[in-house]
Structure 1
Amino acid sequence: DLARAVKFASNARIDLLTVDGAGGGTGMSPWRMMNEWGIPTVYLECLLYNYLNTLKEMGAFVPPCAMAGGLSLEDHIFKALALGAPYISATCLGRSSMAAAMVGNTVGERIKKGRIPSRLKKYGDSLDHIFIMTDHLKEKYGRDFEKIPAGAIGMYSYYDRLAVGLRQFMAGARKFNLKTITRSDLVALTPEASRVSNIPYIMEADREEVEEILRGGLADNGVFQEIDKAPSRFITSKR
C-alpha cells in the first residue's frame, strides 16, 4: 500500500503525501487495532525514505511528504524530519493537539466554576496565571481575545512549547532552519535500528574521525577546529 501511495502520488504530482505510522490515530479506532495494526512509525518512515530514493534515482517526480504516527514532542519532530530528509516537509500531530485542546477546555471550565485542580492552584486562579501564553494572545488580538476559547489557548500554548523546544534542539545541532536538518544528525542506538534505517550505529559512527583524532596530531591538523564545528547528534532506537 505504501508503494502504491508513493507511486500514485508521483504520477499525479500531488502537493503533499501524508504517511501515518502505527501509534497514531484519533482514539476512534478499536483499542486493539490502534495497538496492533499497521507498521510502527520509524519502520514505516525508513521504508518511505527508500521508496522515495527509488523515485529519485528513476528521475520521477518525488512528492513532498509529511510524517505522522504517535508524534507529540519536539524531539519526535526533529527525528522525523531528520530520518526522512530531504523528503519530509512537515510532521503531523493529531492526538496530541486534540489532547492539548481538551485539557485547555477542561481547565477553562474548572476556572469558571471555581473548581481549579489542586495541582494548578499554585499557578493562580485565572486564565492569565495558568496559561503562560495569555498575555501574548491579549497583546496580539486585543479585545478579540475574549472570543478565544480556553481550548484554543491550551493548544496554542502547547505549540509554543514545541516551537521553543525544537529551536533548542536545532541550536544544539547547529541547524538554524528546517531544511538543514539531515540524516547525519542521527545515530542509531541499537544494531537493529541501524540495520532498519541505514543510520550509523552509535559505536561505529564517525569512526574515521575518531581514528584521526586518536592517531593523528591534534595540534598539527586543525582537529580542534573540526571538533568545534562538529554538530551534536540525536540518538534513535526502534521507536
Structure 2
Amino acid sequence: RWSSDADIDLLTIDGASGGTGMSPWRMMTEWGIPSIYLHSMAFELSERLAKSGKRVPDLAFAGGFSSEDHVFKALALGAPYCKAVCMGRALMIPGMVGKNTEKWLRDEDGGLPATVSKFGFTKEEIFMNYEVLKVKYGSEIDNLPLGAIGLFNVVDKIKVGLQQLMAGSRNWEVGYISRDDLFSLTEECTQITGIKYVMDAYRQEALEIIDA
C-alpha cells in the first residue's frame, strides 16, 4: 500500500532462501519467509489492492532463483503483477568461475583444474558463446573479461530455456504468462498459493469434452 501511495515504479520482494553468497550462511538458509509463501502473499495483497481501485506497482520477485523454470514459475505465480525475476548467487557464480578461468588459462593458481579442462583448454572451447560474442564484437572480444563472458553464457542459457518453456505453453510474449500455466502438486501448495491442485486443474474443461 505504501509503495502504491508513493507511486513507485517497481517493488522487489525478496524471499528466503537466497542472498549474494557473502551473507552469513545461517542468514541465507534459515532467515526470512520462504519465497513461495512470501510471493503468494504478495499476489494476494496485490489482488486486494487492485480490487479496491488502488494502483499496484510492478513487482519483481527474488529469493533463491537460478534457472529458466524458476523464472517462468515466478512470473506465473505473480501474474499479472510480477514483471521481473531477480537473481544473486545464480549469476555471481558463473561470473566468478569465468574470472578464475582467466587466471587458470594464464597458468596461475595451478592452471586449469580437471573440472574445467574436460570442456577444453582454450577460452574458445570452454565458453559456449565465445564465438557468438566474437562475431558481435570482433577484435574487442579480447578486451572482455572472462567473468563477463561466463555471466553472458548463463543468462543466454536462461533466455533460451525460458523461450522454450513459453513456446511449449503457447505464451508468445512474457505478458501472456498467467497463473493458469501452473498447477500445484500438493493440496498444501494449493492452500498456500491459490494455484489449482493437479487433480482439479483443467478438470472442468476435460469433463466438458468427455460429456459432449
Deviations 1:166-191 (A, max 9, x none): 11111110111100000000000000
- Whether the 8 Å contact between 2:11 and 2:59 is mirrored in structure 1 is yes
Matched, 1:109 2:103: yes
| Cα drift, residue 33 of structure 1 | 2.1
Within 2, Cα distance between the matches of 1:29 and 1:135?
Answer: 36
Deviations 1:48-91 (A, max 9, x none): 00111111011111101100000000000000000000001100
TM-score under structure 2 normalisation?
0.95
Within 1, Cα distance between the matches of 2:22 and 2:95?
Answer: 17
Within 1, Cα distance between the matches of 2:75 and 2:145?
Answer: 31
Aligned 1:1-239 pairs, distance under 5 A = 7-113=1-107, 115-216=111-212
Tell me the residue number matched to 1:221: none
Q: Structure 1: which 5+ residue stretches go unaligned? A: 1-6, 217-239
Q: Secondary structure at the match of 1:90?
A: strand
Q: Secondary structure at the match of 2:106?
A: helix
Q: Secondary structure at the match of 1:89?
A: strand
TM-score under structure 1 normalisation?
0.84
| Cα drift, residue 148 of structure 1 | 0.7
Aligned length: 210
Within 2, Cα distance between the matches of 1:65 and 1:212?
Answer: 36
Give the partner amino acid of 1:9: S
Give the partner amino acid of 2:29: N
Q: Secondary structure at the match of 2:183?
A: strand
Give the partner amino acid of 2:194: N
Within 2, Cα distance between the matches of 1:23 and 1:55?
Answer: 27
Within 1, Cα distance between the matches of 2:174 and 2:182?
Answer: 15
RMSD: 1.3
